[in-house]
Structure 1
Amino acid sequence: MSASRAFTLGAVLLLWLCCSSLLAAQKDGITDPVEVKALQDIRNSLIDINKNLSNWRRGDPCTSNWTGVLCFDEANKEDGYLHVRELQLLNMNLSGTLSPSLGNLTYMEILDFMWNTINGSIPPAIGNIKSLKLLLLNGNQLTGSLPEELGHLPILDRIQIDQNHISGPIPKSFANLNKTKHFHMNNNSISGQIPAELSRLPNLVHFLLDNNNLSGTLPPDLYKLPKLLILQLDNNHFDGSTIPSSYGNMTKLLKLSLRNCSLQGPMPDLSRIPNLGYLDLSFNQLAGPVPPNKLSKNITTIDLSNNALNGTIPDYFSELPLLQLLSIANNSLTGSVPSTIWQTRTNGNEGLNLHFENNKLSNINGSTSLPQNVTLWLQGNPACSNSSIVQFCTSQIVDVNNQSSTESNVTCPVQSCPPPFEYFQTPHISCVCSAPLIFGYRLKSPGFTNFIAYRVAFQEYLTSGLELNLYQLNLSSALWEEGPRLQMLLKLFPVYVNQNSSHIFNDSEARRIISMFTGWNIPDSDVFGPYELLYITLLGPYTNVLSATPRKSKLSTGALVGIVVGAIAGAVTLSALVSLLILRKRAGNYRAITKRRRASKAFMKIEGVKYFSYAEMALATNNFNSSSQVGQGGYGRVYKGVLADGRVVAIKRAEESSFQGETEFLTEIELLSRVHHRNLVSLIGFCDENGEQMLVYEFMSNGTLRDHLSAKTKEPLSFATRMSIALASAKGILYLHTEADPPIFHRDVKASNILLDSRYNAKVADFGLSKLAPVPNIEGDVPGHISTVVKGTPGYLDPEYFLTHKLTDKSDVYSLGVVFLELLTGMQPISHGKNIVREVNIAYQTGMLFSLVDGRMGSYPSDCVDKFLTLAMKCCNDETDERPSMTDVVRELESIWNMMPESEITAMDTVSTDHTEMGMASPSSFSLLKNPCVSSEVSGSDLVSGVVPAITPR
């Protein structure tokens, strides 16, 4: 036997002796074998692509600190075993199914699988966990019905199964949940009648069942719920049901939201609810007058829009000091608008939105002068015929749920702390670098519509609940989402005493704060409502804070001596082996590190492009959670991210097979840093760290053109919008060909690389295959092509480039011509073996083009379509020389745009493009044009002459 082999065997023997001593010393301090087996079953039923649960295969669950497994500190006196107290698997990108073996964790108090992608049904065996207090399964892809067994959990405080795909009725057994305060079951497919038996629940506080398929009638007895604060049933189907008058007796109620529930009958009298703060009865068929009795003076939001209400505006609307939103739009109210609604306000800084559109209101009674931060909309009322009121009759609508706030209480200078440390403003106005704990946090049902007025109160509420100082909280961003819900990014910094204070939380304090969130130990607030934890980001010094849980020891002195001696011997032996490995590896690592540092220094010199650390990218994407993924291509996955400064970005993360060398990656970034045009997606920064290559772009909220042409979106694109997209895309490519320095051939123009922003402005993206245009040779001549390996996307490839490997600017023209054909037909370039260019050519020659025109875009000016089609077919000519240049393409598109009737342009209600800025004719210039396109329905006889007919929507 060799010396090295003997040395290794000796080390293994010593290590075995050490472990044997430890196991012998803890006979009464190991996890219950039944629970160990249950955890193994749970692990086997899950798919863990990020390997978060890799340590579940080693050691004892409780004594080896398995990820997400929290146990009681001491062994149970009855059986001598340790037992699992919490299973915290929040936001770990887990998929697979939930194992029925969960029911064997019979001592568990918290079961948390929130924000993963787990499918399958909820195991009925969970009903066996009689100690369960928190059942947290929201944000997955669970299906099936709710098990009756869940109704037999005697001390359950909270059931959160929202944002899944659960169907079927609510079990009547849920009426047995006498300790349950929170029913969060919104955003599922739960159907049937709300069981009247639920009205006997003595502790129910929050009843959230919005966005389901509930039907039947609203149970009148719900008013008997003695502690109910929030009743939220929006977007269900209570066809023909009325709102029970008994709901006016819910004396504890703070929020009543019954939006879009197919409700009929009169609006109930809610004047007996003393603290009602939020009322939404919009999008129903309520009729009759608004009850004259006064609502609570605590109310912030009244939305009665889109009903059939009549009568006059009640006078008491002028006596609501906290009102932020009053919407009675789209009803049949008559009389005058009382100006006292805004004149009596004492705090104009809080803002007030008044939506009175589309009623029968005749005038404003009193002053038309609005205080600061008060907005009034009156369009669609007879009052708009009055010239003194016309300023309130514009068509502009502000979406109150699209407000965002990135204001921070930190006023430190530009960030210069090494990540993950950040500047932290202390009470003495001095800024120190500290490491924050970072939480994704969301208010699920806030009792207001304007957060600015409540920002300070929220900070005081949260820090008080967490037992922290107010200055320790940095509310980094707050963004309204559909619901409406309010998502926030919270950063908590360690307490500051003086310059010698620690700049990180110690482990016990970090664990305490985290447990306050995960255990829902922060007291509820009336105005802020229930919250949900979206994620916890632990960077730098906190990476292992949850795996270092201290545990009381019961080891004897002899056992301790044995463990210490064994550990020392094993450590000495193993350290020798580790040292040899480290020395052998260090030389290779040194070269790699040096190369990375050289590259990083070069990166920092790229003007206008920011370097991001891997930690910053992980934080922005919630650790690259699948819920943040918005796309995937040959390069890798694309994630939606939110940077620390609140900016929303798209992060393209390369897969290992797509990695470029350092030089190539740097060259691509340098190339993109020089490309700046309104119709090209901008590069913001990059990351080249931890074996990752990522590019950070501006985020385009309306996705790809391909998505909109494939009917993935609800609203189809009109012809005018499609023309606007075509012209913007062409201008972006024209810039690459003629104005970029040096000029660039894109080489991968396609509908999925044309992105649309929130106003449907088009921008060309993805320059991963781009090539620099030819440069002049010694004689000063510029070659007409580049010889290169053929790359691109089938269906968009220039035939001549494919055959000869000669890439020219006309190759991009061909690809863009295919995009034009997609815009006209909605077809894909290649589908079921059919090529779009060939199919359009055949249809055009046979006079049957109408059968291919995309009916989703509705009627259109036929002459304009004919000219656009002609241009598209020229671009797709097989002969390179027969195609127009990109300059000619843009010129022809502008000509078509200028020929379009003004009505077509003004009808672009889904697009808000500044046409003058894009080089298009302004609407006022249309009267000067001599040959506008004719917008008409064309008869079948016209097909012979090749005129494109106008097709109505299918």
Structure 2
Amino acid sequence: MANNHHHHPSSATPPPISAAFRMATWMYQSKSWVYSSVLVLCLCFSLLHVGAQNGITDPVEVSALREIKKSLIDPNKNLSNWNQGDPCTANWTGVLCFNSTLNDGYLHVRELQLLNMNLSGALSPQLGRLSNMEILDFMWNDLTGSIPKEIGNITSLKLLLLNGNKLSGSLPEELGNLSNLDRIQIDENRISGPIPKSFANLDKVKHFHMNNNSISGQIPSELSKLPELVHFLLDNNNLSGYLPPEFSELPSLLILQVDNNHFDGTTIPETYGNMSKLLKLSLRNCGLQGPIPDLSRIPKLGYLDLKSNQLNGTIPPDKLSDEIKTIDLSNNNLTGSIPSSFSELPQLQKLSVANNSLNGSVSSNIWTDRTLNSTESLKLDFQNNRLTDITGSTNIPQNVTVSLRGNPVCDSDNTSLVQFCRPENEDENNGTVLTNSTTNCPTALCPYPYEISETSPVNCFCAIPLIVDYRLKSPGFSDFVPYKSEFEGYLSSGLVLHQYQLEIVTFAWEKGPRLRMTLKLFPVYVENSTHTFNTSEVRRITNLFTGWNIPDSELFGPYELIKFTLLGPYANVFSSSKGESGIGKGALVGAIVGGIAGATALSAIVSLLILRMRMKRNYQATVKRRQMSKAFLKIDGVKDFSYSEMASATNDFDSSAQVGQGGYGKVYRGILADGKVVAIKRAQEGSLQGEKEFLTEIELLSRLHHRNLVSLIGFCDEEGEQMLVYEFMSNGTLRDHLSAKSKEPLSFSLRVRIALGSAKGILYLHTEANPPIFHRDIKATNILLDSKFTAKVADFGLSRLAPVPEIEGNVPAHVSTVVKGTPGYLDPEYFLTHKLTDKSDVYSLGVVFLELLTGMHPITHGKNLVREVNSAFQSGTIFSVIDERMGSYPSDCVEKFLSLALKCCHDDPDSRPSMAEVVRQLENLWLMMPESNTKLTEEVITAKAGKEVSPPSSSSEVKNPYLSLDISGSNLDSGVIPTIVPR
């Protein structure tokens, strides 16, 4: 997997000499002999320094990369762009570069990240020519052959990651030259031969991961000189000889794991009891003999596994650390009694002394003295010893398992002991455990690749996750469940994410024992966003994993990254995209700067003067452009307000004038100098648009004139502020009046009238606006009601222009765009294909119609309104979901309105009516209603011509146009203009 987040490539980056020439030309045109003279000096220096340079990346390294590719077999063509352009500036897959501190004018390869790319073939000796590399990552491929000794030439190397291949042969002595190496991972290969004594020179190495190979011979005692060594994992090899007693002198060692080797007939050194920092000692199945040393002096020992050796003597009586969680002494030749100190271990999860020759009694204090919560467990295995009875209580608490099968105590007829004498499953690798869904959200709610975040505080939150296969290589516990929450906190903190953004999908114990997990990382919920990580965030997170930049944990131990699954828009994050990073232009500047490093201080002064002159000119040009842009926007009916006018209208933006706040900023109720009441939407600093985009939006809104669209009155773009001034809608949002908190519920006739007005506003956008517009965020909070309860569609922040005719005259059927909108209202087809059409707005408006009929939200407690109404319709119980608060209604009209709403919400866009058809059916519906009178009928008919008509006069339809509005539950993040009107 490539990880190119450090670069800003340019597809046609010129060499430094070209940049210097252009600078000289510009200086000549400045007509200043001082500037020109200084630049001549700089140019000469540059020519001398980089004149022979033909490319950006060091040619030696370019040649090496091409040879490296020749030695690899790449069936998936992941490295197909390794023949195109320059490695650093063209973003070759997996190649990360930086500007060298050598001042040689070249870029150099810093990382080679080729994780999990199905590569086979061999590692080329040419790797040794990447002499500035820091990370070499070929994990989880299918490479064969040996590890080239030439890698030992890369003295800058920090991470050597070759695990999960089929590499064979011996470890080269030359790897001992890697004086900056932090981590060597060659586990899960077929490496044979001894560990070179030269590895004792790796003064900075912290992690030795060489497990699951065929490494043989004696562990060199010289490795005890390594001052930084933290993890020493050499389990599952063919090591022989003895365990070096000198390892007790390792000052930083936390984990010593050498299970399944052949130290036949040797003992565990007594000195190992002096390892003051040791957290885990795992020497399972190593042929060890003799007694167990006293390990009680190790203050934080949490895991002791000496299973399946030939240890003899008694179990040391001294109490082990309070941190101990696992003790496995099974399958040895131990004698004597079970120490009473085992009942004094507060964090114990597993104690196994099975298959020894222990005798005497078992004290029930080992399990009765423990108080376990619902997630904790205790497993005690005393099988196949010579234990004769239990002292104390024979009651076993919940979450405790005690097995005494195969002991004399189980030969008695005491029925109270049956629970102790059942067969016990010895399989420690207990299979996959799935996390259970805690929500009631339908799985079909989120079209692929969107998924429901089970841990998000937002109910039924659909987003595209990053999926990570992850494994703890040497965890310090036997039962993960009690530490699951702690792990989530640890990893999310290391990733700089909220804990709710991390979801553990599965976890399972594998041989080792190691703990494998599948993780999902979800973006933070932001209303009206695509609910995806942006490119830089994906790259930041992957860099934390692939660079091993997540801090180590004493409890969870070392981890390994197995696989990233990048769905949907993430799939191309690491492709050779242009303009994303920083190495193209940055490298060019670096080369020039290196070339002129010897120029005099005068050149810096001259450059500063030039910069100031250019900034002044740019500022003047910007001011002129803004003046011209504003002059262009002198449109009838749209006023360019000054900041002072806005401040005066809102009493200096006093908090008493604020009526809402959302993601865009704050909304104020203002009174202009002429007494007109307006809504002023003031952008906060972080949401300011570019000047061009802001003025373009105003120009777009200024052309929308319809009685069912909220009118733009003016704008303010002054003193670093961006404000939009709208007509004030005194009855707030439709959602406010559908809420259970609404004191005056809407009648059915008024709901139909609101639906008709909303549909007409959308129809105008689709067919009469020039050019046509797709709204893209139709919802009940974006339909506002004026004092006469006339519905007006608002908030065009997400709107997109409809497709324009192509050269051939054909009009595309859709706009391809990033998915934006609000969950519950989004067209499933748009969600899936990113193709926005007029039928996408039809779907959203259909959901609003269902809200009008039921009073319910689009998503409530995980239930989707469209599916709920469809289900009730099909089961013949549709009237059970109709909003009772709207009083009496004609059932035939409700059925027709419902039928229209469900057609609008059809999954297939082609099966939905057009907006024109929606308006026609609503007009016909209105004419059928008993409440319809001559005046309202005339309104429906004449509205087609855009004529203003008087509001309904029926007291049953408009009971109180001046309702007090509660905005505490309003959805303001979308920038909807909420309103409060005093009684």
Normalized against structure 2, the TM-score is what?
A: 0.54
State whether structure 2 residue 266 is matched by structure 1 residue 241.
Answer: yes
Query: Which secondary structure does the structure 2 equivalent of 1:542 belong to?
Result: helix
1:44 is matched with 70
Cα distance change on mapping 1:403 and 1:339 into 2, 3 Å: farther
C-alpha separation between the residues in 2 aligned to 1:490 and 1:195? 38
CA contact (8 A) 1:76 1:83 kept: no
Q: CA deviation at 1:182?
A: 0.2
| Whole-angstrom CA distance in 2 between matches of 1:425 and 1:392 | 39
Counterpart amino acid of 2:480? Answer: F
Alignment partner for residue 282 of structure 2, among 257, 262, 269?
A: 257
Shift in Å, 1:21: 6.5
Q: Identity of aligned pairs, percent?
A: 65
Instruction: Kindly indicate whether the alpha-carbon contact (under 8 Å) linking 1:28 and 1:81 is maintained by their aligned counterparts in 2.
Output: no
Structure 2: tracts of 5 or more residues without a match:
1-10, 20-52, 593-805, 815-831, 834-983
Task: Flag the 1:20–1:286 CA change in 2: closer, same or farther, 3 A.
Answer: closer
Aligned equivalents of 2:373 and 2:361: distance in 1? Answer: 23
Task: Determine whether 1:441 maps to 2:470.
Answer: yes
The residue correspondences of 1:154-553 to structure 2 (distance < 5 A) are: 154-349=179-374, 350-386=376-412, 387=414, 388-408=416-436, 411=439, 413-416=441-444, 417-425=446-454, 428-496=457-525, 498-547=526-575, 548=577, 549-552=580-583, 553=585
Q: Aligned Cα RMSD in Å?
A: 2.9
SS across alignment from 2:357: coil
SS at match of 2:216: strand
Give how far 1:412 is off. 5.3
2:826 is aligned to: none
For the residue of structure 2 that corresponds to 1:190, the secondary structure is: strand
Deviations 1:438-483 (A, max 9, x none): 1110000001010101100000000011111011111111111111
Kindly state the Cα deviation for residue 425 of structure 1 after the two structures are TM-superposed: 4.9
**Unpaired runs of at least 5, structure 1:** 1-17, 560-580, 591-612, 615-954
Distance 2:359 2:461 in 1: 60
Q: Distance in 2 between matches of 1:290 and 1:396?
A: 23
In structure 2, do the counterparts of structure 1 residues 532 and 368 end up closer, same or farther at CA, with 3 Å as the change threshold?
same
Change (3 A) 1:367 1:143: same
Q: Name 2:140's counterpart in structure 1.
A: 115
Distance 1:525 1:473, change over 3 A: same
Alignment of 1:773-812 (within 5 A): none
The aligned runs of 1:520-919 (5 Å cut-off) are 520-547=548-575, 548=577, 549-552=580-583, 553=585
Cα distance per residue 1:535-565 (max 9 Å; x no partner): 1111211112123450241569xx9xxxxxx
Give distance in 2, aligned partners of 1:364 and 1:357: 13
What whole-Å deviation, never above 9, does each CA across 1:540-597 have from its counterpart, x for those lacking one?
Answer: 11112123450241569xx9xxxxxxxxxxxxxxxxxxxxx999xx99xx9xxxxxxx
1:43 maps to amino acid: K
Assess, with a 3 A threshold, how the Cα gap between structure 1 residues 382 and 21 changes in structure 2: closer, same or farther.
closer
Counterpart contact for 1:146–1:167, Cα < 8 Å:
yes
Instruction: Indicate if the aligned counterparts of 2:13 and 2:89 stay in contact, CA closer than 8 A.
Output: no
Closer, same or farther: CA 356–494 of 1 in aligned 2, 3 Å:
same
- Distance (Å, rounded) in 2 between the aligned partners of 1:109 and 1:440: 24
Q: Is the 8 A contact 2:15 2:54 kept in 1?
A: no
Q: CA deviation at 1:282?
A: 0.6
Distance 2:81 2:448 in 1: 27
Amino acid at match of 2:513: P
SS in 2 for 1:376: strand
CA 337–52 in structure 1, closer or farther in 2 if over 3 Å, else same: same
1:301-320 Cα deviation digits (max 9, x unpaired): 00000000000000011011
CA contact 1:168–1:190 (8 Å) conserved in 2: yes
What is the alpha-carbon distance in structure 2 between the residues aligned to residue 25 and residue 237 of structure 1? 65
CA distance in 2 between counterparts of 1:20 and 1:376 reads 71
Output the amino acid matched with 1:536: F
Give the drift of 1:355.
0.8
What is the CA–CA distance in structure 2 between the aligned matches of 1:523 and 1:409, rounded to whole Å? 30
Question: Displacement, 1:25?
Answer: 4.8
Q: 1:451 to 1:487 in 2, by over 3 A?
A: same
8 A contact 1:409–1:475 mirrored in 2 = no
Judge conservation of contact 1:434–1:503 (CA < 8 Å) in 2: yes
CA contact (8 A) 1:141 1:164 kept: yes
CA displacement, residues 858-888 of structure 1 (integer Å, 9 cap, x when unaligned)? xxxxxxxxxxxxxxxxxxxxxxxxxxxxxxx
Cα contact 1:408–1:477 (8 A) shared by 2: no
Q: 8 Å contact 1:188–1:211 — kept in the other structure?
A: yes
1:265 deviation in Å? 0.3
Corresponding residue number in structure 2 for 1:928: none
Q: Deviations over 1:222-273 (max 9, x none)?
A: 0000000000010000011100000000010000000000000001100000
CA contact 1:76–1:82 (8 Å) conserved in 2:
no
**SS of corresponding position for 2:429:** helix
Which secondary structure does the structure 2 equivalent of 1:226 belong to?
coil
Q: Post-superposition shift, 1:23?
A: 9.6
In the superposition, relative to structure 1, how do residues 192 and 398 fare at CA in structure 2: closer, same or farther (>3 Å)?
closer
CA distance 1:337–1:87, shift in 2 (3 Å): same
Runs of 4+ in 1 over 6 A off after TM superposition: 20-24, 26-29
Indicate which of 79, 87, 104 corresponds to 1:61.
Answer: 87
**Residue identity opposite 2:246 in structure 1:** D
Give the 5 Å matches for 1:2-17. Answer: none
Using the alignment, how far apart are the partners of 1:491 and 1:170 within structure 2? 38
Task: Give the Cα separation in 1 of the matches to 2:472 and 2:118.
Answer: 22
Query: Relative contact order: is structure 1 or structure 2 higher (C-alpha 8 Å, sep ≥ 6)?
Result: 2
The letter for the 1-side match of 2:346 is P
AA of the residue aligned to 2:209? H
Displacement after TM superposition at 1:411 (Å): 2.6
| Secondary structure of the corresponding residue to residue 453 of structure 2 | strand
Bigger Rg, which one: 2
How far is 1:405 from its partner? Answer: 2.3
* 1:678-730 Cα shifts (integer Å, max 9, x gaps): xxxxxxxxxxxxxxxxxxxxxxxxxxxxxxxxxxxxxxxxxxxxxxxxxxxxx
Q: Is the 8 A contact 2:304 2:328 kept in 1?
A: yes
* 2:571 counterpart letter in structure 1: T
CA contact (8 A) 1:29 1:80 kept: no
CA pair 383-87 structure 1, distance change in 2 beyond 3 A: same
CA deviations on 1:387-444 (whole Å, 9 max, x unpaired) are 2313321224152321432115763513221211111257543222211111110000
1:370 partner amino acid: I
Could you tell me which amino acid in structure 1 is paired with residue 390 of structure 2?
A: I
Conservation of the 8 A alpha-carbon contact between 1:408 and 1:475: no
Q: TM-score, normalised by structure 1?
A: 0.56
Letter matched to residue 407 of structure 1: T
State the AA in 1 paired with 2:195. Answer: I
